[in-house]
Structures are given as C-alpha cells and as structure tokens.
Amino acid sequence: MSTQRRVYVHRETENLIARQIPNYPILSIVGPRQSGKTELIRNYFPHLKHYDFEDLPTRALVEKDITGFVRANIEGAIFDEFQFVPEITQVLKVVADELIWDAHQRGENTAHARFIITGSHNYLLDDRIKEGMVGRVANIKLLPFNIAETSLNDPFSLMYKGGYPAIHTNKTAPHLFFINYIENYLNREVRTIHGIEDLSKFQEFMEICASFAGNFFDYDTVGSALGLKKEILDQWLMVLFSSYIIFFARPYHKSLIKQMAKNHKLYFYDTGLCASLMGVKSPEHIQLNGKFRGKLFENLIFSELWKKNFSQGHYLQPAYFWNITGKHAHEVDMIIEGMVGLKAVEIKSSSKFDPRWFANMQKHEMLREAEKFVVYTGPTQDVEGGRAINFCDLHLLFLE
C-alpha cells in the first residue's frame, strides 16, 4: 500500500536562518502555535536530536539534571517549546559563552549555531529568560504562510483560509482547524503559561478583538461588555500579543514619542483566525459582506508587510497609518518610510480602480510629495496620480 508523502513548503525565512547560523551559538525561532516551526527546523536540521519540552516525560528528564542534559547535547540539539523549562536559559547562557570563547581562541568571530530553540511565546517579554539570551542568540520569527507561500491568488479564499500550514499542506478544512486551534491555544497557552482560568470569557474577548481588527481597541465598550477593568484588558491584550495572535500599528508622526502616545490599531497576524472568530463561514461570506471584506482585506495587507519584515530579519515597525482628527478629519490606510521618502498607501478590496482613492493622500502637505499607491484586487498598473498594485505584488511597495 502506498502512502502519500506530506508536502513540505520551503519558507522565505530559511534564507534568514542561513545568514544567521554562523553568527550566534543559539538560534531561536518563535511564532504562534502551528505556524510550522517544528517542521521547518526538523527539515533544515535533520541531523540534530529533537526534544519537545511540552512533552511531560521529556520535560521531567530535562528538569532532573538541566546542566547534564545540555552538556550531553553539546554537539547540537533542538529544544522545542523551550519556554516550558525557563530554567534552562541560565545553563544555555554559560554554555554559549564557553562556545564563543572557544571560537575566539580559534581566531573566529563567534560560534556557529549549536542549539536551536523554539517557542510559541515571545520569551523576550519574560524576565526569567531574556537576560540570558542577549548577545548569544539569533532571534527569528516564523509566522503563518505569507501570500506567496500559500500559492493562492483568490483574495477571498486567502482571507478565509489564512496562512496556517496545515490548512494548505494537509488540506484541513478551515472551520475544523480553527475550532481545534482556539481550543488548544486556550488550554496550552492561555491557561498553562498565563494562568488564566476563565477560558470561556477569554474566548469571548478574542472574538471581540476580531471585531476591532483594523480599528482602535475600545476599552470602555469591551470592559463594559465583559465586566473587566482596563488593567485586565491590557493583560489579556499582552497575552495575545506575546503569543503572536495580534500586533499593533502605530500612527505616523515625526516624533517617536507622539507615535507611542497615541492610540494604536489592532490587527491579527492571520486573517483566517480573525475570520473564524468573526463567525465567517466561507469565502463567499466575505465577498458578499462589505464589512467583512474591507476589514479582512486591510488586515491581510498589514499582516503581509509584517511577515515580509520578519522574514528579512527586520523587527522595527514596517508601516504606520495616517489619522488626522478634528474638523477636517481624514485618514490614509498605510504609511511606509522609504529610503528616499514617504510612501502613502490606500487599501481597497475592490477589483475596479477608482481614481478618487488618491484623494485623502492629497489633503496634507507632508503627503503631497509622497509616492502614492493603491493596493486592491485588480491588475497592477500605472495610473494618474500613482500606482495601483495587486495584493499579490506587494513586493513593489519596497522598490525604491
């Protein structure tokens, strides 16, 4: 009987891994659950032993003698979900310093990667872990598939399915995948790591966050609906942020302090998860519902830029939004700081170009000299006033 071999999709992040291997003794790959971290590292490093710290027997073995365990694997190993044994950080710190010292003695700048660690939690937000990692680890973020990695060119299927690999490589039905994903996330991440017991209310919180995708988070409305104080809402937003479910876009301003002080917009890293939390049933449901279509398409474009940014090893804010309040209020969906100036971008889910889309970009003096783009679902073309770009051609936004 023949068995069908699972297809492995090479990730753009592999180029970054290749560049970082010679630079640090520890290579860290973090991202949301089921974003393909384990499959990537086991394909890229097939010669290394693999240990899953989420597995209780494995964790017990490690915790029995952490120092002995690390030194027994001094030639190299993969430590999957290593945040479940945060104490290992101090041992890795000592061993990494020894490897760097030995490399210097051989006349080399630093040690090549020996230990590959992964996590579904941003350990740089964990004081128990981050101190021992500074200067010893290359940090790489692996998010769900970007547009090119999905091989999809229908925007509504793409928004509905999102980028989690299992949906594309295993042909898992999106509605079944996300039901299981949310349940596993709540039990393994929210309860186990963050100690939140009221999982039904936290799931309701996630669903409310999905309704705010592409908008400012309204503390008063959400707090009133859930009966929670602002301090708890902030904690729960940080849970979603630290486990790579959501991210925030800042308003554009020349002053970094003013950028940070103003309210930020909330987005999901994966439109499929966001759509599932919204109650979307199919690609047609998105196509026929203007509210879903515009919100999810804007989220798709923002998340795509964040994914491209991370896969290239850049972790600074890749894009902003432009919001002018008051009597002459107007907004531009996205602002990108290029090497030679600003790029202003409007995001529209329509397939037919409308020259009026450039209007808001002309309303502020600072944007009049900016390069102007519209990202939409129609063909890429030069138009009067700027350029219209198909959502599959976002790389054109980065060309200077």
- pTM, rounded to two decimals: 0.91
Q: Which of 357, 360, 341 is nearest to 389 (CA)?
A: 357
Q: How confident is the model at residue 277 (pLDDT cuts 50, 70, 90)?
A: very high
Task: Report pLDDT for 3.
Answer: 47
* Residue tagged 């295993």 (tokens): 170
Q: How confident is the model at residue 1 (pLDDT cuts 50, 70, 90)?
A: very low
Query: pLDDT per residue over 339-367, tens digit each?
Result: 778 899 999 999 999 999 988 888 777 78
- What values do phi and psi take at 221, rounded to 5? -65, -45
Task: Report pLDDT for 362.
Answer: 80
Query: pLDDT per residue over 309-319, tens digit each?
Result: 999 888 777 88
Q: How far is CA 152 from CA 7, 34, 92, 203, in A?
A: 16, 19, 41, 29
Count CB atoms within 10 A of the CB of residue 339: 6
* Residue tagged 């309701």 (tokens): 204
Domain boundaries, the chain: 13-141, 150-307, 320-398
Q: Is the pLDDT of residue 4 over 70?
A: no
Q: Is the pLDDT of residue 259 over 90?
A: no
Query: pLDDT per residue over 146-191, tens digit each?
Result: 999 999 999 999 999 999 999 999 888 999 999 999 999 999 889 8
CA quadruple 20, 26, 32, 35: dihedral positive or negative? positive
**Cα distance between residue 181 and residue 143, in whole Å:** 15
Q: Do 324 and 363 meet the contact criterion of CB atoms below 8 Å apart? A: yes
Task: Report pLDDT for 131.
Answer: 72
- In words, the CATH class of domain 13-141 is alpha beta
- In DSSP terms, which residues pair with 118 in a beta bridge? 29
Please compute the mean of the pLDDT values over residues 81-103 and round it to a whole number.
91
Q: Do 296 and 162 meet the contact criterion of CB atoms below 8 Å apart? A: no
Q: Is the pLDDT of residue 62 over 80?
A: yes
Q: How far is CA 230 from CA 193, 224, 233, in A?
A: 21, 10, 5
Q: Is the pLDDT of residue 44 over 70?
A: yes
Q: Do 120 and 240 meet the contact criterion of CB atoms below 8 Å apart? A: no
Task: Report pLDDT for 120.
Answer: 87
Query: pLDDT per residue over 108-154, tens digit each?
Result: 888 899 999 998 887 766 666 677 777 889 999 999 999 999 999 99
Task: Report pLDDT for 226.
Answer: 95
Six token digits for residue 302:
């923002």
Sequential DSSP letters for 128-183: HHHHHHTTTEEEEE-PSP-HHHHT---HHHHHHH-S-HHHHHS---HHHHHHHHHH
Reduce the DSSP state of residue 318 to 3 states and report it. Answer: coil
CA quadruple 138, 139, 145, 146: dihedral positive or negative? negative
Query: Sheet harboring 115-119: ordered strands across?
Result: 49-52, 77-80, 115-119, 26-30, 137-141
